[in-house]
Amino acid sequence: MKLWAAAALMTLPVAVNSEVLLSENEIQQTLSFGPWPPTYQPDPSNRVSSDSRAITLGAALFNYPGLSVDGAFSCASCHDPEQAFTTSEARALGRVPLNRNTPSLRNLAGLRWYGWGGKSDNLWAASLHPIIEEQEMAHSNESLKTAISESSYVADFESIFGNIRNQDPELVLVNTAKSLSAYLETLRTERTQFDSFRDALERGDLLAAATYPEAAQRGLKLFLGRGKCAFCHNGPAFSNNEFHDAGVPYFLSETEVDEGRFGGLNFLFSSAYTLDGEWNDDSAKIGSWAVRSVRRRHSDFGTFRTPSLRGVAETPPYMHDGSLIDLDAVVRHYSELDTERLHADGEAILSELSLSEQEIADLVVFLETLSYVTWP
Amino acid sequence: MDSQTPNAPEVYVDVREIPLAQPFSILISVCTEATVHEVRVDAIMPAHQHGLNYLPEVSALDEGMFRVDDLLFHMPGQWKLQADVDFSRRSVSYTSEITLK
């Protein structure tokens, strides 16, 4: 059933010929993508979550080159605030070229998993690992303690965490990561044209809803229906935060593969920094069920975390390896999906969509309306 | 819940709310005088040919009641909930279909 904004035809010239193209069922599905922004609770696993002093310190440390062992780069070098907290390179450049695209850092509060392979179950662990990764910032616990102690931020650090000299180097590492996490929790994408549309539908204001571009509505209908996108890209963040094989090659070379979730789980289970570990500040260990209950399967090989689509138009290139240069290429990837590349025991509903040029354009327009900046 | 086993004791599942891609809990009640040794719960999406990403945790309550935690349906669509109930001399399988929008 189409719901016509008939009143607009009589009173508002701007809305002439505009209509809400969605069926009742599609409207109900659309409502599930909001409201935006959601409300977040402080992270109980991080005692300085939502602490304004920790947020300020975390923001400063995010831009501090001393977080890398030789002062060569800061977090912001790869997660550039001017580029939606990522960069335009296909793959991240640490001390050496890395294997994956740099993810944006917005809307990270409260997720179940972090990283393309989900090797962390909390944001402070996800903030911690790059500091000590040899190919990234390459600190040891000791060298990081020295760097913080000798930095201009030591007074702020000690006002939150106490005298740094009395802290074990590993505690300094965790405290530094929890400050960074407190800052990262504050990074959100703005409301978008899509949110105005979604909220108008919720209010039953079809006149307002009908101002959402028809091309975007057609794209949304494909997103919900034949495109099958909403099976994985669901909820207010447009992600189920789980792991899937999207048919993107995971061979790094003829002899090397990106293990994806398989490797992420191996890392997770050997990590001291999970919600089930001793560094969790929450005695109830809320959320630790996931690391205890998650299953390991061979089909995890080469699967990657479903990225949020909030702000997606601002963060090209795409996919875990940055191999698709723009949204048009992403939609064409699914339109021409090579099902031979998919796991034999993986997701069975993926198939070549064979979209028309008009349908590809419509889906791109819809995806663009999920960003604060939209293009005509 | 349904079972292919003849004369299987009745089993009921109490599902209040299922949030998409978020953990939820259910109650399973087994209507029998016999001792229930164990209940194992799992679920699959037949059309997608995959199951749960997390192993549900089953806790015995009183009088044939079992609480199942850590269930998580990470995709919308039709799920088949499965419960294997171990009685003293046999194991009986039950299923129940749930559609998540």
- For residue B38, the tally of other CB atoms under 10 A from its CB is 12
Residue of B25, B44, B49, B52 to mutate when probing chain A, most A C-beta within 10 A? B49
Q: Judge if A132 and A26 occupy the same domain.
A: no
How many other C-beta atoms lie within 10 A of the C-beta of residue A1? 9
Strands B77-87, A243-244: pairing is unpaired
Q: What is the DSSP string of A124-189?
A: HHHHHHHHH-TTTT---HHHHHHHHHTSTTHHHHHHHH--GGGS-HHHHHHHHHHHHHHHHTT--P
Residue of A nearest to B69 (CA): A289
Same domain, A121 and A227: no
| One domain for residues A168 and A227 | no
Residue A195 host element (H or E): helix A193-203
Residue B88 maps to which CATH number? 2.60.40.1930
pLDDT at residue A375, as a whole number: 44
Mean pLDDT, range A264-268, rounded to an integer: 98
Tokens encoding A11: 């009173």
pLDDT at A17: 54
Inside any domain, residue A80: yes
Give the pLDDT of residue A2. Answer: 47
pLDDT at residue A7, as a whole number: 40
Question: Is pLDDT above 50 for B47?
Answer: yes
| Tens-place pLDDT, residues A306-345 | 999 999 999 999 999 999 999 999 999 999 998 877 777 7
Sheet of B50-51: strand order equals B50-51, B36-45, B77-87, B91-100
Domain for residue B80, yes or no?
A: yes
pLDDT at A294 over 50: yes
The confidence score (pLDDT) of residue B97 equals: 96
The ipTM value here is 0.93
Evaluate if residue A11 carries a pLDDT over 70. no
pLDDT at A16 over 90: no
Of A240, A289, A346, nearest to B75 by CB-CB distance is: A240
Average the pLDDT over B90-101 and give the result. Answer: 95
How many other CB atoms sit within 10 Å of the CB of residue A121? 26
A295 vs B: CB within 8 A: yes
The answer as to whether B92 is a domain residue is: yes
Which of B20, B53, B69 has its CB closest to that of A294?
Answer: B53
pLDDT, mean of residues A271-285: 98
| DSSP reduced 3-state for A25 | helix
Confidence class for position A12, pLDDT limits 50, 70, 90: very low
- A49 close to A252: Cβ distance less than 8 angstroms: no
Running DSSP on this structure, what letter comes out for residue A190?
P
Query: Do A87 and A218 share a structural domain?
Result: no
- For residue A43, being part of any structural domain is answered with no
**Concatenated DSSP letters for A106-128?**
SS-TT-S-BTTTT-BSSHHHHHH
> Please, what is the average pLDDT of chain A?
92
Shortest Cα–Cα distance, B58 to chain A (Å): 12
Instruction: Look up the domain containing B66 and give its range.
Output: 10-100
Chains A–B, number of C-beta pairs less than 8 Å apart: 55
Q: Count structural domains, chain A.
A: 2
Q: Are residues A252 and A331 in the same domain?
A: yes
Are A62 and A125 members of one domain?
yes
Q: Is residue B3 part of a domain?
A: no
Together in a domain, A23 and A85: no
Q: Give the rounded percent of residues in chain A with a pLDDT score beyond 90.
A: 84
Name the helix (H) or strand (E) containing A287: none
User: The domain containing residue A81 runs over which residues?
Assistant: 52-184
Flag whether B58 is in a domain.
Answer: yes
**Residue that finishes a domain, picked among A154, A184, A214:** A184
Is A287 contained in some domain?
A: no
Tell me if B54 and A235 make a contact (CB, 8 A cut-off).
no
CATH label of the domain that carries residue A315: 1.10.760.10
pLDDT computed for residue B16 by the predictor: 87
Domains held by chain B: number: 1
CA distances from A366 to A66, A141, A231, B89 (A): 41, 46, 17, 58
Same domain for A1 and A85? no
Instruction: Assess if residue A246 is contained within a domain.
Output: yes
- pLDDT for A353 equals 94
* Calpha distance A270→A260 (Å, rounded): 16
